[in-house]
Amino acid sequence: MSSRSPAGIVEQLGGLEVVVCAGSGGVGKTTVSAALGLAMVAELDRRVLVLTVDPARRLATALGLGRMGAEPVPVPAARLRKAGIQPKGEMVAAMLDMKSAWDLMVERHSPTRESAERILANRFYQGISNAFVGSQDWMAMETLYELHAGREYDTVVIDTPPSRNALDFLEAPNRLSDFVGARLLSWLAGPSRLGWRAINVAAAPFARMADRLIGAEVLGELAAFVREIQGLYGGVQERAAEVYDLLRSPQTGFVVVTTLEPEPFAEAEFFCARLRDYRMPLRAVAVNRVLPTALGDPSGAAAATALVEDREVAAWMSAELGEQVRPETARRLGEAHLILHRLAERQDRQLSRLGSLGRVPVVRLPLAEREVVDIEGLAQLVGWFRDGTG
Amino acid sequence: MLCVEVDAKGDLARALGASASSFQPKVVQPNVSVLGLHAEESLQEYLRIYFKVPRFTRLTPLAKVFEFIATGLPGTSDMLVIGKIAYEAKRTDGGRPVWDLIIVDSAATGHVLPQLGAARAMMDLARGGIVRSQVEWIDAILSDPRRSLLTICALPEEMPVSEALDLHDRVKAETTIGLGACFLNRVFPVGVTARQLHALEELCAEPHLDAARERLGGDPRPVLEGDRLAQRLHDTGAAHARRLRAGMSVPVVEIPLQTTARPGLSTTRAVAAALRAASS
């Protein structure tokens, strides 16, 4: 890991067109994305869109907005000033609307208006677009591409979907292309023209199995659906290539977000390695919820241990301070510190492994003095992006 | 007992003292087995059981078709995950259920409802064939509170608690799945009052600091910094626990923060002891 100070990281990331914040679930990606967006508009005259795809609507709460939807919502400058940020730029927030994103994709890539309408009316399509979240990563990439292509924003910061596998969205464009292309399912699209009996010899056992599985009537409907979505193939394949080009572009940067807890850190290591495999540019690592270094101080631990173990210490404190200090008070003061000291020691071991993530700037975001639940909380973090201080 | 992890990353297996999970249940502790779910393997097993399709290698064209179905089609992997769990719940050996209890480490909060609703979604799509009858029994298992319960886990922070409450409300409004309990994990276990903190503040100030250093054999100022943070963590944790209890229709069980050097069996045992203590 570079010893470079994170000073200048806001300018570096804010100069990009797309910033992808990635990491495993629960590390505070949404908070970091929103704080990074705020840091950008505080420092730069840029129009920054922060797009969250989190269905729990975390960003909406954190930004003090009501209900976000598909339409981007500007964060009022007066609201930022109230939180102590003098914005040079403009911040806009948006949330992925899955259903709209699917419908737009179909309309965009269908060869004809009629074909789009048939797909939109198909119950398989409605089931897929309404009920299943396996498609969330796909739509996040589609929406990111559209927002970038629209050129309304200087920088789009995207908070990746909540997932146990942070890699899912990297695979998303290809999976979407495979899904609608699905040459392997051509056998399924064929029978309505030739009849099931005419299906080729190689596919026949598979077709019989599918027939037994879901029934002839549904199979016919599914075939019609597959036939229609194959019409999307050209457009979607082209789009997948464009999305990968965008993600590999010098105008794009990945920020891997992690905490120093062992599991998310291990996932961050894996993710950084895969970014290298994909030739996608890692620009920074944001380590969230870092404990103050003072907590690891052995001298403090020695004092805390004495507060817990020295049976005479409360009496000594009473005499020294001229007021009664109960043994329970001394014990609690020591115990509470020692819990945090043990966590700080564990954290220090992880910090020594930061180099495994890559030679990029590291932004350390402290465990905030107050919980980050509103724009004031986010504002606390802005200074840590700007110059590594609160 | 069978512990199932739905993403097969191995975290659950490691927490139970094993190196990794696999698709075949592996005994990791006395009476405890662990299973890691893979959508593709679930599909292969399904086809083997119901269609006598032999296991095929990844290189065959048929394998590519099934790999596509298992991982490429939206929703299929959710269905395969839920289907495999329901299959294990139904499996018997000599007339007795193979497992007394199955505990599933499910998808992230945002994913769990669609995953649990996959059988219902599939029922809407498939009106006939084997799949229809199978998703019906899967749905019956999930909807029977004597057989399946969903427990919600949260951390004592604003957003996770909001998500837990949101999930609770949506489960009640949108599903037929019963709720069991809510676990509030990593609760800071030691509270420090303002009065107690004040005593330490005085000790860290002149004219007491030098005497305190000497008496305590160390610097009390880092202790003060830690205790201020501890006070914040404990008090906000208590506030979140109150908020959860006010919004949940099920018991909220607090699990104290563990400080073991690294996650693994020792942490799991400590959490298990905390759960036992909470339920006694």
> How distant is the Cα of A300 from the closest Cα of chain B, in angstroms?
5
pLDDT for the residue A191: 47
- Does A300 contact B226 at a Cβ distance shorter than 8 Å? yes
Q: For B78, phi and psi rounded to 5 degrees? A: -60, -45
Query: Exposure string (b/e) for B195-221, b if CB count within 10 Å is 16 or more?
Result: ebbebbebbbeeebeeebbebbebbbb
Residue A4 inside a domain? The answer is: no
Residue A95 inside a domain? The answer is: yes
What CA–CA distance (Å, rounded) separates A9 from B128? 58
More confident residue, B258 or A199: B258
What CA–CA distance (Å, rounded) separates A154 from A48? 6
List, in sequence order, every residue forming a beta bridge with A256; answer none if it has no partner: A22, A285
**Are A334 and A352 part of one and the same domain?**
no
A365 SS3 class: strand
DSSP class of B145? T
A127 interface with B at CB cutoff 8 Å? yes
Domain that holds residue A197: 9-294+347-386
- Does B118 contact A132 at a Cβ distance shorter than 8 Å? yes
Report whether B177 contacts B116 (CB < 8 A).
yes
Which chain A residues contact residue B61 at CB under 8 A? 184, 202
pLDDT for the residue A266: 85
Which chain A residues contact residue B259 at CB under 8 A? 339, 342-343, 346
**Are A329 and A357 part of one and the same domain?**
no
Q: For A262, phi and psi rounded to 5 degrees? A: -60, -45
pLDDT for the residue A375: 84
What CA–CA distance (Å, rounded) separates A35 from B35? 39
Query: Exposure string (b/e) for A163-188, b if CB count within 10 Å is 16 or more?
Result: bbbbbbbbbbbbbbbbbbbbebbebb
Residue A2 inside a domain? The answer is: no
pLDDT for the residue B5: 86
Which chain B residues contact residue A25 at CB under 8 A? 108
pLDDT for the residue B182: 96
Q: What is the CATH number of the domain that holds A168?
A: 3.40.50.300
pLDDT for the residue B13: 87
- Does B215 contact A179 at a Cβ distance shorter than 8 Å? no
More confident residue, B207 or B76: B207
Cα dihedral A339/A345/A350/A353 (nearest 10): 180
User: Count of alpha carbons within 13 Å of A349, Cβ hemisphere only?
Assistant: 11
Environment class of A378 (CB within 10 Å of its CB; exposed 0-12, middle 13-18, buried 19+): buried
More confident residue, B130 or B93: B93
Domain that holds residue B163: 2-279
Residue B248 has pLDDT above 90, yes or no: yes
Mean pLDDT, all residues of chain B? 85
A307 interface with B at CB cutoff 8 Å? yes
**Are A338 and A234 part of one and the same domain?**
no
Residue A213 inside a domain? The answer is: yes
List, in sequence order, every residue forming a beta bridge with B3; answer none if it has no partner: B34, B103
- The count of domains in chain A is 2
pLDDT for the residue A55: 45
Environment class of A313 (CB within 10 Å of its CB; exposed 0-12, middle 13-18, buried 19+): buried
pLDDT for the residue B123: 75
Q: What is the CATH number of the domain that holds B59?
A: 3.40.50.300
pLDDT for the residue A2: 42
List, in sequence order, every residue forming a beta bridge with A207; answer none if it has no partner: none
pLDDT for the residue B194: 94
pLDDT for the residue A57: 55
**Are A57 and A180 part of one and the same domain?**
yes
Report whether A49 contacts A156 (CB < 8 A).
yes
Plot region of A45 (φ>0 → left; ψ -120 to 50 → alpha; else → beta): beta
- The count of domains in chain B is 1
DSSP class of A197? G
**CA quadruple A74, A38, A40, A169: dihedral positive or negative?**
negative
What separation in angstroms does the CA of B88 have from each of A252, B10, B30?
A: 45, 19, 19
What CA–CA distance (Å, rounded) separates A217 from A239? 33
Model confidence pLDDT, tens digit, residues A43-60: 999 999 998 876 445 556
- Does B212 contact A320 at a Cβ distance shorter than 8 Å? yes
- Does A346 contact B108 at a Cβ distance shorter than 8 Å? no
pLDDT for the residue A51: 87
- Considering only the beta carbons, identify the residue of A134, A138, A162 that sits closest to B110: A162
A104 SS3 class: helix
- Does A185 contact B196 at a Cβ distance shorter than 8 Å? no
- Does B74 contact A298 at a Cβ distance shorter than 8 Å? no
Structure-token pair, residue B49: 């059981």
**Are A230 and A305 part of one and the same domain?**
no
Residue A353 inside a domain? The answer is: yes
> How distant is the Cα of B99 from the closest Cα of chain A, in angstroms?
26
Environment class of A300 (CB within 10 Å of its CB; exposed 0-12, middle 13-18, buried 19+): buried
Residue A17 inside a domain? The answer is: yes
Residue that the structure tokens 């120093």 belong to = A260
Residue B67 has pLDDT above 90, yes or no: no
Nearest CA in chain B to A328: B196
> How distant is the Cα of A184 from the closest Cα of chain B, in angstroms?
6
**Beta strand A47-52 pairing with A155-159:** parallel
Residue A109 inside a domain? The answer is: yes
Plot region of B57 (φ>0 → left; ψ -120 to 50 → alpha; else → beta): beta
Which chain A residues contact residue B56 at CB under 8 A? none
- Does B162 contact A61 at a Cβ distance shorter than 8 Å? yes
Residue B267 has pLDDT above 50, yes or no: yes
What CA–CA distance (Å, rounded) separates A47 from A40? 9
Give this prediction's pTM: 0.81
Model confidence pLDDT, tens digit, residues B83-118: 888 889 989 999 999 999 999 988 766 667 877 877
Cβ count within 10 A of residue A373:
19
Residue A243 inside a domain? The answer is: yes
Give the rounded percent of residues in chain B with a pLDDT score beyond 90. Answer: 48
**Are A173 and A125 part of one and the same domain?**
yes
pLDDT for the residue A38: 93
Q: Which residues of chain A have pLDDT under 70?
A: 1-7, 54-70, 127-136, 161-210, 213-216, 218-219, 368-370, 388-390
Q: Which of residues 62-81 of A touch B (CB under 8 A)?
A: 62
- Does B222 contact A297 at a Cβ distance shorter than 8 Å? yes
A98 interface with B at CB cutoff 8 Å? no
**How many residues are recorded in chain B?**
280
Report whether A61 contacts A373 (CB < 8 A).
yes
A339 interface with B at CB cutoff 8 Å? yes
- Considering only the beta carbons, identify the residue of B64, B107, B197 that sits closest to A164: B107
Structure-token pair, residue B223: 């202790």
**How many residues are recorded in chain A?**
390
